[in-house]
Structure 1
Amino acid sequence: MTELYQLLISAGVVLLGIFLFTGSRWRFLYILYKTLPRDILGAFRFFQVNALLWWWERKGYTVAAVFSRLAAAHPEKIAYIFEEKEWTYKEVEEFTNQVGRYFKSKGLSRGDSVALVMEGRPEYIGIWLGLSKAGFVAALVNNNLRHDVLLHSIHAAECKAVIYGSELKDAIEDISDKIPELTLYQWSELSNTPILDRAIDLSPALANTDPDPLLEDLALGHPRDKLLYIYTSGTTGMPKAAVVNSLRYMLMSCGVHGMLGLRETDRIYDALPLYHTAGGVVGAGQALLRGITVVLRRRFSASKFWPDCVYYECTVAQYIGEICRYLLAVPQSPNDTAHRVRLMFGNGLRPQIWEPFVERFRVKQIGEFYGATEGNSNLVNIDSTVGAVGFVPRYAGRMYPVALLRVNEDTCEPIRGPDGLCIACKPGEPGVLIGKINPKIAVNDFSGYADKKASEKKIIHDVFKKGERAFNSGDILVMDEFGYFYFKDRTGDTFRWRGENVATSEVEAVISNAIGLKDAVVYGVEVPGNEGKAGMAAIYDPEHSLNLKELGEGVKKALPTYARPLFLRILEDLPMTGTFKLKKTDLQSEGFDINKVKDPLYFFDRTGTYVRVTEQLCKDIQEQKIRI
């Protein structure tokens, strides 16, 4: 490492000399001088990651195969810690073998999918990994979903069975009569837990299954076979089941590992949902693929975060933007600096709280990254540049083909030149992030969704040359002259709140059903002091017949907490576009500011009811006197 630094210093001195004595292209040389150390380190780590993925693909390894090799190499090492129980690699391996053997005998065909609806715990990981050993695909359903959205998610992946945790028994019972053809399996944390009438008690069944390896089935697997379905809201509509094969899983997990320099001796604190890519792949995958111990938590708690990190002796921790804000809101404690966490990685840390967060908790490195579950346009911030989600060297676009395209602000469609091709953004110019598709290279591939039509909608054709295809991330970013990327906003009809993507059309459908099919439009609005955008619904009600109590009960019953509109605007007139669409942009720009909006406004308070927004209430929300 010392030799590397000496090389970087020497290169910097040479470039500085050129900069001082060369009059032409001085700015380019200055940029090169400033970014060369970052770029060399990034290129070295990028090469290591891709070499590993190339080797694993050449050997035909799946995630399950890599994990089995790790378990054989150090069976007594701790893979996962959950509450007071430590799971060794041998214990996880045997549990996954039991899952694979049991479901192999249940009449499922190779490639069939099984819905998994459970809270986070080691068994959650063990179940989907065990299913993959037998050639089945687990659909990781968001455990907050209920009713029609839950049904849709199960059907979207064409699931043949449902495995659910006993803690979610009521949610499955609500829809069980609508999925009579699917076999239900209940996993219970405690023995003698009551199960649904038509469900199979999975816990004792697995305990009585042989834990020996499924060697023949593992040999049949291929790294590009489907491994999981992970759900994403995308830019419109109901949740979509994104296809994640073993190679994609390896890329996301090992990419963060390699680019941020994680170590085998690290211990990672993962309090994120395991049905999400961040918690279930990037976090939990470090144990499966790189031999790092991961501490799991049933659900995130701001007050327990640093005490847990101290208790479990964690050296690395994960976050999403909201987690960092919650942690700053907790009263100061000795645990703020008594921990050993040297690195925190995740996405969504706002630039406004970045430095106060680092200063208070004394975390040496922030590894902000950007990526979509189904996307191929992934970025990583390896040098803790405040606010950046990653970088690409200005002169290395061909090596890592991501770009920003100019888009129409109203339609969000790419702007094309006279030749019919897209136009790249200049530094400082916001645009939609795209990743060029190359199926031959894992980092540039796009596996899409279970729904082929939805997959096609995410592809932009004829990008910078005829026949070239790219994945449309749906996100607006901006790149500076040094190659750093900064997140700006989402295009389309999705906004992000509480670390979750909210599809407005899904919420609009629930509201419309709850209020007798009245016209409604949902959008995200900024709330001071909060990451992302809170949900707001504008409802057309010229007869003043809206029943706010019924609406409140309807959204509580049908929507998870993060998707419930916090603000309502009651419209007497419909602001329509020339194509008969509600002018969402105009409504969004006015937000819930009572000085701008003359229509009645309501706020979803902590009692679970909508109350009228007064000038004082609006002021209290804007001044952050009311926690949201």
Structure 2
Amino acid sequence: YSNVFFCSFSAASVLLRVKLNVRRHLREKNTIPKIFAETVHRHGDKTALIFEGTGERWTFRQLDEYSNRVANLLLERGFKEGDVVALFMENRSQYVGIWLGMAKIGVEAALINFNLRLDALVHCVTISNAKAVIFGSELTDAVSEVHSSMGKAVQMFCSGDWDPKRVPQGTECLEPLVAGAPSHLPPRPDHRLFYIYTSGTTGMPKAAIVVHSRYYRMAALVYYGFRMTSDDVLYDCLPLYHSAGNIVGVGQCLIHGMTVVIRKKFSASRFWDDCVKYNCTIVQYIGEICRYLLNQPVRDTERQHRVRMALGNGLRQSIWEEFMNRFNISQIAEFYGATECNCSLGNFDNKMGACGFNSQILPFIYPIRLVRVDEETMELIRGPDGVCIPCKPGEPGQLVGRIIQNDPLRRFDGYVSQTATDKKIAHSVFKKGDSAYLSGAEGKAGMAAIADPSHSTNLEKFVKDMEKALPPYARPVFLRFLPEVNKTGTFKFQKTELRRDSFDPSAVSGRLYFLDSSKGRYVQLDEELYRSILSGKCKL
């Protein structure tokens, strides 16, 4: 990451403020439900959540009452602190109320990506040791496909339109059960908050552990760092099974009393209309959302809104200025991080093109740095003393954060799988014998290399099988067919040369294909299509 620059004193002061707040909450044993109770006391009758799909508005008091009923229902059914319940549904206000209700009694929610199907879905439920699954009626077919693989001991609850003929046998309708449960405040244990799954583009998803202090830290860093207020209205069109939507977004509601507009799914054509309708002042984005908005035809509402800030990560430097000018956005609140990482960054000074800061003023508060890596293998490069070598200004490298478990900003809670946790930790990074989190490198568009010497692959069948087994983000955007796939001397697949060739048809011998999402099939990749992809005319 080379677009990181040195921070001002104001950024360092934000880190110090959040660190002190987290320490206070830990000392006072303030969980997210307990902090939310204070928010309800301050903002009881104010609108907390708006669900764009129905226009339904919940006040803070209504959200509190709904989550209490969920908590008491689960207690009545025998769930206890430390149990896990999988939550598998599309965005809506109930989503927040359900996991918040679980948190009030120490039941941990496993927030499962609603795009998952078959083996990946079963994997996410089973590795969490979930005793129940609460699913949205819109996902009944997906649940029915795998119900027999989950085991009879897993209880099933359906939220939404109820059709007893379609749901798996033994499933109960959630709504009347919640409505009939007591609304009083249940006991408040202190336990893990929930699990958020990594995307798992190179394998099955990993369940990252989110504790109460981490939830607070992530939400508070952007709130104070980007100078938000409780009077802001935030437009959240991101999936609630991920940290961007459920912590960075919804966290502003639960912790800071902000009104949050929840959208079922992102819509480029409805984006600015929604912002005008609900008087939004902050919008969230991730990845290519900003480019999708720029590709939309010009409409009046794109400059009639009250939005002053776009909050998110992944805005390309090449379209940064165009996005601000066209949509009249005065501040881009770009940040970089991951659900489980301890080295998040924030562009608190609105510097164009940057994803964050590297503090040289108060490094002991937030010890992070870029270190040199072998760009072919991504292995850390070490000096004669065995310690990692820091990057010079402007030099790309891998972001690392020193792990100090008793420091709320430096701790690394890891994953449910200890093996997965160990893979993200390096030693002797800042100094001999220390430990640090590796933030790795993320891919935006994967390529699969397939050995097909006889040219017998049926691409239509391949697409159908892939759609059943893989969520959209895990499907290879490019295919490369080879006579054979080369291996190293230790029988590992040789990926270095394949990565170097990329998807350039002039550099690749053999057949290349591109997944055209508009057509739902792979098309042959030629020079013209290659140039169209590079120019951004053709969407990945």
- Please give the TM-score of this superposition, normalised by the length of structure 2: 0.94
SS at match of 2:193: strand
Identify the residue that residue 141 of structure 2 maps to in structure 1: 170
Q: Give the number of the structure whose residues are more often helix, by fraction.
A: 1
Q: Does 1:294 align with 2:257?
A: no
Give a deviation string over 1:211-256, Cα, whole Å, max 9, x none.
Answer: 1111xx21x32xxx31010011468531100000000000001111
Identify the residue that residue 610 of structure 1 maps to in structure 2: 522
- The Cα shift of 1:42 comes to 1.6
Identify the residue that residue 511 of structure 2 maps to in structure 1: 600
Identify the residue that residue 228 of structure 2 maps to in structure 1: 262
Residue of structure 2 aligned with 1:154, choices 112, 118, 125: 125
Question: What are the within-5 Å matches in structure 2 for residues 547-586 of structure 1?
Answer: 547-586=458-497
- Matches of 2:305 and 2:269, distance apart in 1: 14
SS at match of 1:603: strand
Identify the residue that residue 154 of structure 2 maps to in structure 1: 183
Amino acid at match of 2:353: G
Identity %: 45
Give a deviation string over 1:457-488, Cα, whole Å, max 9, x none.
Answer: 1111122323311111113xxxxxxxxxxxxx
Residue of structure 2 aligned with 1:282, choices 248, 256, 280: 248
Amino acid at match of 1:121: R
SS at match of 2:23: helix
Identify the residue that residue 176 of structure 2 maps to in structure 1: 204
Q: Does 1:471 align with 2:437?
A: yes
Amino acid at match of 1:317: V
- Alpha carbons of structure 1 residues 200 and 335: separation in structure 2 relative to 1, 3 Å: same
- The Cα shift of 1:574 comes to 3.0
- Matches of 1:437 and 1:313, distance apart in 2: 41
Q: Does 1:140 align with 2:106?
A: no
Amino acid at match of 1:177: S
SS at match of 2:34: helix
Identify the residue that residue 325 of structure 2 maps to in structure 1: 359
Amino acid at match of 2:402: K
- The Cα shift of 1:161 comes to 1.1
- Matches of 1:184 and 1:211, distance apart in 2: 23
- Matches of 2:201 and 2:535, distance apart in 1: 31
Kept in 2: contact 1:162–1:182 (CA 8 A): no
Kept in 1: contact 2:201–2:473 (CA 8 A): no
Kept in 2: contact 1:95–1:126 (CA 8 A): yes
- Matches of 1:156 and 1:303, distance apart in 2: 38
SS at match of 1:284: helix
Q: Does 1:70 align with 2:39?
A: yes
SS at match of 1:159: coil
Amino acid at match of 1:609: R
Amino acid at match of 2:34: A
- The Cα shift of 1:190 comes to 3.5
- The Cα shift of 1:44 comes to 2.8
- The Cα shift of 1:621 comes to 4.2
Question: What are the within-5 Å matches in structure 2 for residues 223-622 of structure 1?
Answer: 225-233=191-199, 236-475=202-441, 490=442, 495-496=443-444, 534-605=445-516, 606-622=518-534
Amino acid at match of 2:174: L
- Alpha carbons of structure 1 residues 203 and 320: separation in structure 2 relative to 1, 3 Å: same
- The Cα shift of 1:589 comes to 2.7
- Alpha carbons of structure 1 residues 553 and 116: separation in structure 2 relative to 1, 3 Å: same
Give a deviation string over 1:297-334, Cα, whole Å, max 9, x none.
Answer: 00000011111111100111111131100010011111
- Please give the TM-score of this superposition, normalised by the length of structure 1: 0.81
- Matches of 1:574 and 1:452, distance apart in 2: 32
Q: Which deviates more from structure 2 when the two are superposed, residues 106-115 or residues 131-140? A: 106-115
- The Cα shift of 1:283 comes to 0.2
- The Cα shift of 1:72 comes to 2.7
Kept in 2: contact 1:458–1:472 (CA 8 A): yes
- The Cα shift of 1:618 comes to 4.1
- Alpha carbons of structure 1 residues 240 and 395: separation in structure 2 relative to 1, 3 Å: same
- Alpha carbons of structure 1 residues 616 and 48: separation in structure 2 relative to 1, 3 Å: closer
Kept in 2: contact 1:568–1:601 (CA 8 A): yes
Alignment gaps of 5+ in structure 2 = none
- Matches of 1:132 and 1:557, distance apart in 2: 33
- Matches of 1:190 and 1:176, distance apart in 2: 19
- Matches of 1:436 and 1:408, distance apart in 2: 20
Q: Does 1:101 align with 2:72?
A: yes
Q: Which deviates more from structure 2 when the two are superposed, residues 557-566 or residues 186-195? A: 186-195
SS at match of 2:312: strand
Kept in 1: contact 2:387–2:431 (CA 8 A): yes
Identify the residue that residue 50 of structure 1 maps to in structure 2: 19
Tell me which structure has the larger Cα radius of gyration. 1
- The Cα shift of 1:451 comes to 0.6
Identify the residue that residue 129 of structure 1 maps to in structure 2: 100
- Matches of 2:527 and 2:346, distance apart in 1: 43
Kept in 1: contact 2:157–2:172 (CA 8 A): yes
Kept in 2: contact 1:166–1:186 (CA 8 A): no
- The Cα shift of 1:197 comes to 1.9
- Matches of 1:325 and 1:619, distance apart in 2: 18
- Matches of 1:407 and 1:89, distance apart in 2: 48
Identify the residue that residue 482 of structure 1 maps to in structure 2: none
- The Cα shift of 1:168 comes to 0.4
- Matches of 2:331 and 2:20, distance apart in 1: 25
Kept in 1: contact 2:450–2:485 (CA 8 A): no
- The Cα shift of 1:193 comes to 6.5
Kept in 2: contact 1:46–1:258 (CA 8 A): no
- The Cα shift of 1:625 comes to 5.0
Amino acid at match of 1:555: M
Identify the residue that residue 61 of structure 1 maps to in structure 2: 30
SS at match of 1:44: helix
Give a deviation string over 1:521-574, Cα, whole Å, max 9, x none.
Answer: xxxxxxxxxxxxx22211101122222222111111111222222322110143
Q: Which deviates more from structure 2 when the two are superposed, residues 394-403 or residues 88-97? A: 394-403
- Matches of 1:615 and 1:428, distance apart in 2: 33
Give a deviation string over 1:378-399, Cα, whole Å, max 9, x none.
Answer: 1110111122111023243222
Alignment gaps of 5+ in structure 1 = 1-33, 476-489, 497-533
- Matches of 1:227 and 1:443, distance apart in 2: 17
